[in-house]
Amino acid sequence: MVSKGKLEWLDLLGIVTGLSLIAALYGALVYAPTERIQGPVQRIFYFHVPSAWVAYLAFFVVFVASIAYLWRRSAFWDRLGRASAEVGVAFATLTIITGSIWARPIWGTWWTWDARLTTTLILWFIYLAYLALRSYVSDPNRAARYAAILGIIGFVDVPIIHMSVVWWRTLHPEPVVVRAGGPALEPPMLAALFLGLVAMTLLYVYLLIHWVMVEEVRDDLQLIRQRLAE
Amino acid sequence: MLGFDRLVALVAKDLLIELRSRDVAYSTLVFALLVLVIFNFAFELRAENLQVLAPGVLWVTFIFAAVLALGRVFAAERDRGVLEGLLLCPIDRGAIYLAKLVSALVLMLVVEAVAIPAFIALFGLNLPLLPLGLVALLGSLGFASVGTLFSALAAHTRTREGLLPILLFPISVPVIIATVKATTVVVAGDPWELALPWLQLLVGFDALFVGISYLVFELVVED
């Protein structure tokens, strides 16, 4: 059960996260200078890159939690993997959406089969499958075990997917459509990006803790239901 | 070799059941041929576009047929309680996985061995059989390695084999890319070295995922 002290500590984290998000907004929208060529659209970069970072971080946490679960078999690691996958999918979705919004005016298209985009999309599918697998297995222990197996295989596959997609792109006969390689970042831009990274990471941790707590309650509820049914 | 005998016995069991019932091979084969026919309508396959489209057409056919076959790999084990019997046998859990992998691979190769000549006969494009066979072998092994493991997972879900493609396709993206690329080189008759990086990628993928699946299979059949 959740103790009083834990809640206060979480509230503090929530306040810090909220403040850092406001600071990141200020950094991205006011403090950072407007990019000379791309214009204001470029400011989405300060949310896009941190979202992508958090998505990959979240999937790495799923990987670690999966190994830890198979080793320790404690419900905590299972909940952590479950929670991190859900938050990760949310951030991956955000990454793809913000990227598309940026790509439309700059590249002139919502989507291009660039290596990084393609890898992120495949990753998104893998963790959708992870969540689907969980929800289609009735026995909770079995669901946890199966999900952990996919959590490991999915993450091990990421570098291979990326490598194959990069080769696929570079060995492709057509010229590479657009390269993102803009000029190196100005210090204020770097600062805004850094603020965004800190704020998004804090948001991830905050959401993750809450999600783990929700999963805990959900497990309790399931247990109660089961006992009532017996 | 104590383990090897048992592995052979397990594979022989699966293949004998398949030979007698032809449950999977029959439906998978007809399905593969139908997909080829549908591709003909979808793309109007002619001499001009055939060489460009052939690798994609072949591999989509193989992969769809493979998903159909892989979905049934653990059907008997689940429906008729064979798995409990197997688990009671003094065999390593990994050996059960390897046996299933070999059975699934044999089934995939049989389908491909029929579909490739059918493709040649239907569309009149000459394919170099030996190099294509090598690509098909490596690609099918990669696909079957994760596919067999996921088939065991999917067999115990509420959707049964319905979940299999959702699990399998994203993970096997490297296999799909590498096989299509290598087949493109083979079909175009380009220098053999161009296919080499893709074949290396396939060998790496095969080794890694046969290894991981062998190790984690024990966890799938734990209860």
Distance separating alpha carbons of residues A131 and A143, to the nearest angstrom: 10
Least confident of A109-113, B53-57, B58-62: A109-113
Determine the pLDDT at residue A34. Answer: 86
Which residue in A141, A150, A165 is closest to B167 by CB distance? A150
Determine the pLDDT at residue A4. Answer: 57
Q: State pLDDT tens for residues B197-214.
A: 999 999 999 999 999 999
Q: Does B149 touch chain A (CB under 8 A)?
A: yes
**Using a CB-CB distance cutoff of 8 angstroms, which residues of chain B are in contact with residue A136?**
157-159, 163
Distance separating alpha carbons of residues A50 and A115, to the nearest angstrom: 19
Q: If we measure between CA atoms, which residue out of B89, B90, B91, B178 comes closest to residue B136?
A: B178
Determine the pLDDT at residue B51. Answer: 86
Give me the percent of chain B exceeding a pLDDT of 70. 99
What is the mean pLDDT of each successive set of 10 residues along chain A, which is 230 residues long? 66 94 93 84 90 96 96 94 96 94 88 87 96 91 94 93 84 42 70 92 96 93 90
Q: Which of residues 132-151 of A touch B (CB under 8 A)?
A: 132-133, 136-139, 141-142, 145-146, 148-150
Distance from CA of B167 to the nearest CA of A (A): 6
Q: State pLDDT tens for residues B91-101.
A: 888 899 999 99
**Using a CB-CB distance cutoff of 8 angstroms, which residues of chain B are in contact with residue A145?**
219-220, 222
Determine the pLDDT at residue B62. Answer: 96
Query: Checking phi first, is residue B118 left (phi over 0); if not, alpha (psi -120 to 50) or beta?
Result: alpha
Determine the pLDDT at residue A176. Answer: 35
Determine the pLDDT at residue A170. Answer: 63
Distance separating alpha carbons of residues A116 and B165, to the nearest angstrom: 23
Distance separating alpha carbons of residues B67 and B35, to the nearest angstrom: 13
Considering only CA atoms, give the Rg of chain A.
20
pLDDT band at B138, cuts 50/70/90?
Answer: very high
Determine the pLDDT at residue A128. Answer: 96
Distance separating alpha carbons of residues B218 and B97, to the nearest angstrom: 9
Cβ of B201 and A167 within 8 Å? Answer: yes
Q: Does B158 touch chain A (CB under 8 A)?
A: yes
Answer yes or no: are the C-beta atoms of A124 and A100 closer than 8 Å. Answer: no
pLDDT band at B110, cuts 50/70/90?
Answer: very high
